[in-house]
Amino acid sequence: MSAGTGIRPAKMRAAVLRKLKTRLKIERLPIPEPGPGEILIKVVACGVCHSDLHAIDGDWNPGPVLPLIPGHEVTGHVAELGAGVTGFRRGDPIGVPWMWSACGHCEACLSGMETVCRTGQATGYSKPGGYAEYMVARADFVARLPKRTDLVAVAPILCAGVTTYRGLKRTNARPGQWVAVVGIGGLGHIAVQYAVAMGLRVAAVDIDPKKLALAKKLGAEFLVNAREENPVSAIRKGIGGVHGAVVAAVATQAFEQSIGMLRAGGTVVFLGLPGGKADELRASIAQISGRELSIRGSSVGTRLDLEEAVAFALRGEVAAKIETAPLSAANAVLNRMRRGKIVGRVVLTIP
């Protein structure tokens, strides 16, 4: 039953992965039925996150549930309500993040870390995601959006936004202090904006001058091209090191270097997940201990983080630089991402 009309189309188009490391194929599949506590969503837009590429390439263990419909930066409208769902109406604009569900009663869930609930499900990884005309989400885990939200523009906030917002909070950096944003991709260019909005001073590190130019435009004060100079000495010499850092690059070296960028007592938060052979790093124990450094991880964000992250975007303080593409172009977009050729974020629009 589509929103408003009361007529349920029989099938939907979706981009499907049948085997790891192969191309997505556009298929016609039955529209899923929302179960108890679930919502059927008519998808409007879905951002393309590098995690989609890791899923398709099988970079992480465990791998995704196949066949897979990727996509976890989803926005759309409520199309149907499953049994027992209250507080939503057909046509309401909503967003679906990576965290498809969490159990709500384990130690992680109870201590503000529902993002790492062991029995949680992941949108576009263990559950079908938003590279499709319709998808099903848990009513308790979707983000409510105001009526006139630009659903294409806000889509990247559902992952890149909330992830970098929580990551920056976990550096514990205070207004006026320096943070390094390492990797100015889909996540990084949004991280620069949250950092500026939170009163932090930003040093941006990437290997592509186009991405550094974007960081500068978004308010980064200190830029380092890690292909041309050593980012550790550049940051130490240029600004005396950083109080915090978030690493949203997909190269092991960037994680190793980020530790050296810190001032004494500083905290680096790892966001990127290179996976496979790139998953292990070397670091100096003496440096970490002797300079009292902290290395933390951060995984997407809680529902509260998401609400806060979306609020920044709705106020216009944070806006992804987006380019749109049709669902049929998903493979081409993913190939461009593989080659590092995307500046900002590509959002698939699904009419």
Task: Identify which of 104, 100, 112, 111 has the alpha carbon closest to the alpha carbon of residue 74.
Answer: 100
Q: Which two structure tokens, joined as six digits, stand for 275? A: 């996976």
205 binds, among Zn ion, ligand NAD, none (CB under 5 to 8 A by kind): ligand NAD
In this chain, which of 57, 208, 256, 308 binds ligand NAD, going by CB under 6 A?
A: 208
Q: Which two structure tokens, joined as six digits, stand for 208? A: 């592509």
Is residue 342 a contact point for Zn ion (CB under 5 A)? no
260 binds, among ligand NAD, Zn ion, none (CB under 5 to 8 A by kind): none
Is residue 300 a contact point for ligand NAD (CB under 6 A)? yes
Report yes or no: 153 and 44 within 8 Å, Cβ to Cβ. Answer: no
- Provide the minimum distance between the beta carbon of 117 and Zn ion in the complex, in angstroms, as a whole number: 3
Task: Identify which of 154, 336, 173, 168 has the alpha carbon closest to the alpha carbon of residue 248.
Answer: 168
Pick between residue 160 and residue 327 the one whose CB is nearest to ligand NAD.
Answer: 160
Contact positions with Zn ion (CB under 5 A) in 84-113: 102-103, 106, 109
Cα distances (angstroms) measured from residue 285 to each of 24, 238, 260, 288: 43, 25, 12, 5
Report yes or no: 250 and 275 within 8 Å, Cβ to Cβ. Answer: no
In this chain, which of 142, 337, 346, 350 binds ligand NAD, going by CB under 6 A?
A: 337
Pick between residue 182 and residue 261 the one whose CB is nearest to Zn ion.
Answer: 182
User: Cis before residue 36, ω within 30 degrees of 0?
Assistant: no
320 by Cβ neighbours in 10 Å (0-12 / 13-18 / 19+) ranks as buried
- What's the CA gap between 171 and 117, in Å, rounded? 21
The angle formed by the CA atoms of residues 216, 196 and 257, to the nearest 5 degrees, is 65
206 binds, among Zn ion, ligand NAD, none (CB under 5 to 8 A by kind): ligand NAD
103 binds, among ligand NAD, Zn ion, none (CB under 5 to 8 A by kind): Zn ion
208 binds, among ligand NAD, Zn ion, none (CB under 5 to 8 A by kind): ligand NAD
272 binds, among ligand NAD, Zn ion, none (CB under 5 to 8 A by kind): ligand NAD
Q: How many residues bind Zn ion (CB under 5 A)?
A: 8
Is residue 205 a contact point for ligand NAD (CB under 6 A)? yes
- Provide the minimum distance between the beta carbon of 334 and ligand NAD in the complex, in angstroms, as a whole number: 10
Q: Which two structure tokens, joined as six digits, stand for 178? A: 């320096």
The residues that touch Zn ion, with contacts defined as CB under 5 A, are 49, 51, 102-103, 106, 109, 117, 159
